[in-house]
Amino acid sequence: MKLTLKIWRQSGPTAEGAIHTYQLDDVSPDMSFLEMLDVLNEQLNDQGEEPVAFDSDCREGICGMCGLMINGEAHGPEVTTTCQLHMRSFTDGETITIEPWRSDAFPVVKDLVVDRGAFDRIIQAGGYVSVNTGSAPEAHSVPVPKDDADRAFNVATCIGCGACVAACPNGSASLFMGAKVTHLGLLPQGQPERDERVVNMVAQHDHEGFGGCTNIGACTAACPKEIPLDVISQLNKDLRTAIKHGH
């Protein structure tokens, strides 16, 4: 395959960025999208041009480190992570535009790399159960209904990649937050801190500059782990309940 790549290049956090155009021949349909960029980078290195910076680590769809806007879609045309997208999803001669996640809360570090530290800070605000090592009761002392455990697992599969934010016209991280609030809210272990958790996480979310949710659903459509939209309903419900409780 032959491709024309239009790639966002930005040398640093405060530098001006611009789209650069590159030609790439001999792309195999069996390459992953990131392997295609590896090939481009080898070519650039040979030509004396600095390679394009982009994030990736596990390259098996689970660590959440990779994430690109590909032709305007978060993670590209398939429901998967960028690292699991393969070139057979594109056609010979195609022009592909590649940009970093776009959100005020995810500032660009370089080229296609962004800073997603805001997600860590939302978890710091309450996305945990306060249990010190060694103080846990016997695992079987608290049964959990299988349906609750299964649903908790399903929403806990969020990989924190940020595609939901990148896809959202408002730049909201409600799907990310809703997934965590729902996961811990379904389990007995998550109950004691349930009210404070949602209040503090939402406050941190707003403080970071993420936008509000207006139920568009672009987040869940872009989510490589298919986290359902109703976690946001749960988030709002938990928030209402906490406020009613006087938080």
Partner 1 sequence: MDMPDTVTSTEASHSGLLDGDYDDAIGYYTPGEPIVDAKAPSGPIAERWSNRKFEARLVNPANRRKLSIIIVGTGLAGASAAATLGEAGYNVKTFCYQDSPRRAHSIAAQGGINAAKNYKEDGDSVHRLFYDTVKGGDYRSRESNVYRLAEVSTNIIDQCVAQGVPFAREYGGLLDNRSFGGVQVSRTFYARGQTGQQLLIGAYQALERQISAGTVSMFTRHEMLELIVADGKARGIIARDMVTGEIQTHLADVVVLASGGYGNVFYLSTNAMGSNVTAAWRAHRKGAYMANPCYTQIHPTCIPVSGSHQSKLTLMSESLRNDGRIWVPKNQADCDKDPREIPEEDRDYYLERIYPSFGNLVPRDIASRAAKNVCDEGRGVGPEVDGVRRGVYLDFADAIDRLGRDAVANKYGNLFDMYARITGEDPYAVPMRIYPAVHYVMGGLWVDYDLQSTISGLFVTGEANFSDHGANRLGASALMQGLADGYFVLPHTIRDYLADGPFEAIGEDHPAVLEARESVEQRIEHFLTVNGSRSVDSYHRELGNIMWEYCGMERSEDGLKKAIDLIRGLRDDFYRNVKVLGTSESLNQSLEKAGRVADFFELGELMCIDALNRRESCGGHFRAESQTEDGEALRHDDEFAYVSAWEWAGLDERPVLHKEDLVYTAIEMKQRSYK
CB of 53 to partner 1, least distance (A): 5
Can you tell me the distance from the alpha carbon of 17 to that of 12, in angstroms, rounded to the nearest whole number?
Answer: 9
The one among 8, 33, 90, 119 contacting partner 1 by CB under 8 A: 119
The reply to whether 170 sits near partner 1 by the rule CB under 8 A is no
Stretch that binds partner 1, among 96-104, 169-177, 180-188, 210-218 (CB under 8 A): 180-188
Cβ pair 222, 167 in contact under 8 A: yes
Q: Name the strand (E) or helix (H) holding 5.
A: strand 3-9
Give, in order, the Cα–Cα distances in Å from 157 to each of 25, 78, 228, 245. Answer: 37, 18, 11, 30
- Of the pair 145, 212, the CB lying nearest partner 1 is at 145
> Which residue from 2, 21, 95, 144 is in contact with partner 1, where contact means CB under 8 A?
144
Segment near partner 1 (CB under 8 A); pick from 36-44, 91-99, 226-234, 238-246:
36-44
Could you give the maximum distance between any two Cα atoms of the chain, in Å? 64
Least CB distance from residue 57 to partner 1, whole Å? Answer: 4
Residue 18 interacts with partner 1 (CB under 8 A): yes or no:
no
Shortest distance in whole angstroms from residue 216 CB to partner 1: 26
Q: Which region holds residue 160: left if phi is over 0, alpha if psi is between -120 and 50, else beta?
A: left
Give the integer Cα–Cα distance in Å for 38 and 44.
Answer: 10
Size of the site for partner 1 (CB under 8 A): 78
**What amino acid occupies position 203?**
A
CA atoms of 111 and 71, how far apart (whole Å): 16
Which one of 97, 157, 233, 236 is in contact with partner 1 (CB under 8 A)?
A: 157
Distance CA 205, CA 170 (A): 13
CA quadruple 223, 226, 230, 232: dihedral positive or negative? negative
Least distance to partner 1 from the beta carbon of 105, Å?
Answer: 14
Shortest reach from residue 213's CB to partner 1, in Å: 23
Map the footprint of partner 1 across residues 88-117, applying CB under 8 A: 88, 109-110, 113, 115-117
**Residue closer to partner 1, measured from CB, 69 or 113:** 113
